Amino acid sequence: MNENILRKLEQKIQDTISSKDEIKQLIESLSTIDSSRPFVLGIAVGRIYNAFFYQSKRILNREPTKQEFDEFLEFIKNKKSDLENLW
């Protein structure tokens, strides 16, 4: 994965972790849908995926390739324990 994109994703993970209150507020407002751990993790990963996709288009001037997406999935898998601290 591109080093600039990787740096932005690391920053987004830290932003997500430090935005616990915002995420909790979002979960509370959507609690009629679901408030489970997988749902919370899905919201966090969605924020990070959005950053990955946006930064790929901004930095590389194209959509991410399948290989880059696979690298993103591996990156997320390695960061799961950090993201589980959201709840």
Determine whether 78 is exposed, middle or buried from the number of CB atoms within 10 Å of its CB (0-12, 13-18, 19+). exposed
CA-angle at 28, arms to 79 and 13, nearest 5°: 20
Structural domain harbouring 43: 3-86
Q: What is the pLDDT of residues 28-39, one digit of tens each?
A: 887 788 767 788
**Number of Cα atoms under 13 Å in the Cβ half of residue 57:** 6
Percent of the chain beyond pLDDT 90? 39
If one counts the domains in the chain, the total is 1
Instruction: Give the percent of the chain with pLDDT over 70.
Output: 97
CB 7 within 8 A of CB 78: no
**Whether the model pTM is above 0.85:** no
In whole angstroms, give the CA distance from residue 40 to residue 27.
7
pLDDT at 64 over 90: yes
